[in-house]
Structure 1
Amino acid sequence: MPKRISNPNAQVALKDFIGRENNYIHFEYEDEMKQYEMMKNGDPGAADESHKMMAENTSTLADDPVTNMKYLMICNATLMTRFAIEGGLNSETAYNTSDLYIYNMNKCTTVQEVLDLHYEMVTFFTEQMQKLKKQNVYSRQVILCMDYIDHHLHESIRLDDLAAFVKLNNNYFSTLFKKETGYTVSEYILSRKLEVAENMLRFSDYSCAEISSFLAFNSQSYFTQCFKEKNSCTPAAFRKAHFNKHIKGRHKKLPV
């Protein structure tokens, strides 16, 4: 077990004193939150604002400067993720974005590399929020069901289950979903499953049969039929045209 911090109150007070003596004062809360609100609102200046805050941050979280900057980026990624979700970004997309950039952060060997990757991360989050602003504003029930669908794409999803999930009458929920999204519930579920299938064909070497089974299609032939109607080609042809040849080795974790 790690050694407990001796008298944390005294040590916090000492850090406060040393910081003030050396003019190493943390940012005001409102100033720090500005970057997250800018990102949440899709403001193009969010990345520059966040980069400035990172570069000027005087917090000491580790003795090694690179490690210190990595810890600061993790803190920022956590808050960016929360604010993005509050702004309406799909929670799984937000968490996966954070995971992706933190994973790649571990490969950075200099402070500048961490800062550059952090800038890219904030830019990506901001672009996602800009896209959301261009889309229709959905009701809470529809957003909840969209998230539910994204988390259960490997299952057979029924209208009854979704309506019960948001405590609405089947007919009312079905009408509401169609009105707000432009899709029937079944059309939306199929669209999301096919989007995931496209990514699996691009970035993994799972067979068409495995993908069909994972996404709970009734049969591989039905999966092929639906895929062809959307993309004007079979899954096999799509893979041949779009497979990322830089992917090495089988992906054991199926994407959702």
Structure 2
Amino acid sequence: MRDIVKPVEDARKTKTVSLTVQERRERHRETLRSDLIEAARKLVQEEGYDGLTIRKLAKRVGYAPMSVYSYFADKQDILLALAEDRFAILARRIEENTSDDPIEALRAVMTEYAAFGLGNPNEYRIVFMTEKTRPPEGMTFEELDASNPAMLALLGRVEACIAAGRLKGDPFAIATILWSIAHGTISLLITFPFHEFGDPDAYVKRMCDLALGALEGQDVQPLSDNPGGLCRLTRK
């Protein structure tokens, strides 16, 4: 009887060890992938888009260039991973910056968005101003924004303002208008830093004041007959 039981016990131990090893490998792989994304971020920050190459990235983390391909198919794949990482960080910063006043909470989204862009101009260009990270042709808002926590955070703050009676109209339209204003402001500030905009923080505040002031009291209609799936995402 003991001879029968013993192999079963050993098999269970082996299975447990194998699962633990697999978990460790997966955790190690995730850590290395994060290291590559962080190294890519620093390269972009220091040298811009053209400074990011597979060879430079591999050298930065002490890998052979071919090892990078175990994690990313090509440079564009790295850029997309970097964009996703930046969106997640931006969303966390937005969640940490809130207010009991729904309008001020909404303003915080725009100021955090601006602070991210102005503080990380090369990264902002990669995420928002390059063909390499442009959504595929035909992708709907529902597909795009399902993986964009920052935009969902903006929409959530807009809906809170509507619920409090501070804004009125279609939440997707309001969120898109505010996003357009914020993106346009940041793009101008980082593309034309020599222009006489004055203090960047003061300029951003002025744009926020004008945008929110213009929307208060307006009944904002949908942007089109099919405004997209972003609003539906927050109601599932």
Q: TM-score, normalised by structure 2?
A: 0.31
Relative to its length, the structure with more helix (as a share) is 2
**Higher RCO structure, 1 or 2 (CA under 8 Å, sep 6+):** 2
